[in-house]
């Protein structure tokens, strides 16, 4: 049974690139285009890992993490944040909310994202 990964990211191009790369690696990948849709899909598919953007319409990444924290069934799903920004204050806040890692998009490329994913769920 392949591991399930949910990408919550509003930038379509980045989503497609990541999805393609992750599928090639044998993961089963789903995509949500904002926080609201993301929350719905987390509950539906119960992914093994979430790649989460921060700045998104409707519901941002921090709000998604906040909501997951209040749900016993969801709070243990590992999250890797993929964000445009990377200020220490934000990173610390995300780690407090259970994020395993924080990647700044401009400093990483898809291959490195895959490596981070593998480190979390193999």
Partner 1 sequence: MKKNSIKKIKEVGTLEELDRIAKMLVRRDFELSEIREKRDAELKELEKRNKEITGSRIALMNILEDVEKAKEKSEEERDKTLAIFDNFPEGLLFLDKENRISSANPDIKDLFGLDPEKIIGKRIDELGKSSLAPFIDILKESPKGIYRKELKLKENLILEISAIPVMKVEEKIGTLIILRDVTREKIIERLKTEFVSIVAHQLRTPLSAVKWTLKMILDGDLGEVSKEQREFLNKTYISNERMIRLINDLLNITRIEEGRFLYNVQKQSIIEVAERVIASSREEAQRRGIRFEFKKPRKKIPEVKIDSEKISLVFQNLLDNAIHYTKTGGHVKVSIDYLKDEEKIIISVKDTGIGILKDQQKRVFSRFFRGANAIKTETEGTGLGLFIAKNIVEAHNGKIWFESRKNKGSTFHFSLPTS
Residue 9 and residue 34 in contact, taking contact as beta carbons nearer than 8 Å:
no
Q: Least Å distance between CB 64 and partner 1?
A: 19
Choose one: 6-14, 30-38, 60-68, 93-101; the region binding partner 1 (CB under 8 A): 6-14
Of 98 and 110, CB closest to partner 1: 110
Using the rule CB under 8 A, which residue among 85, 96, 115, 118 binds partner 1?
85
For residues 5 and 35, give the distance between their C-alpha atoms in angstroms, rounded to a whole number.
15
- Residues whose CB falls within 8 Å of the CB of residue 61, separated by 6 or more in sequence, listed in order: 8, 35, 52, 53, 54, 55, 81, 83, 94
Q: First-to-last CA distance in the chain? A: 13
Question: Site for partner 1 (CB under 8 A): how many residues?
Answer: 19
Instruction: Compose the 10-49 pattern: x for residues touching partner 1 by CB under 8 A, - for all others.
Output: -x-xx--xx-xx--x-------------------------
Of 71 and 115, CB closest to partner 1: 115
**In 3-state terms, the chain is what percent helix, strand and coil (to 5)?**
45, 20, 35
For residues 60 and 52, give the distance between their C-alpha atoms in angstroms, rounded to a whole number.
9
Positions that interact with partner 1 (CB under 8 A): 11, 13-14, 17-18, 20-21, 24, 55, 84-85, 87-89, 105-106, 109-111
């Amino acid at each position: 049974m392949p591991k399930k990964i949910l990408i919550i990211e509003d930038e379509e191009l980045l989503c497609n690139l990541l999805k393609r790369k992750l599928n090639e690696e044998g993961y089963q990948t789903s995509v949500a285009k904002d926080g609201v849709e993301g929350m719905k899909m987390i509950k539906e598919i119960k992914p093994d890992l979430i790649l989460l953007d921060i700045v998104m319409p409707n519901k941002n990444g921090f709000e998604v993490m906040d909501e997951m924290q209040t749900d016993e069934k969801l709070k243990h799903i590992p999250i890797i944040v993929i964000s445009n920004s990377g200020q220490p204050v934000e990173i610390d806040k995300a780690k407090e909310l259970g994020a395993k890692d924080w990647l700044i998009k401009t400093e990483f490329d898809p291959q490195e994202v895959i490596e981070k994913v593998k480190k979390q769920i193999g």
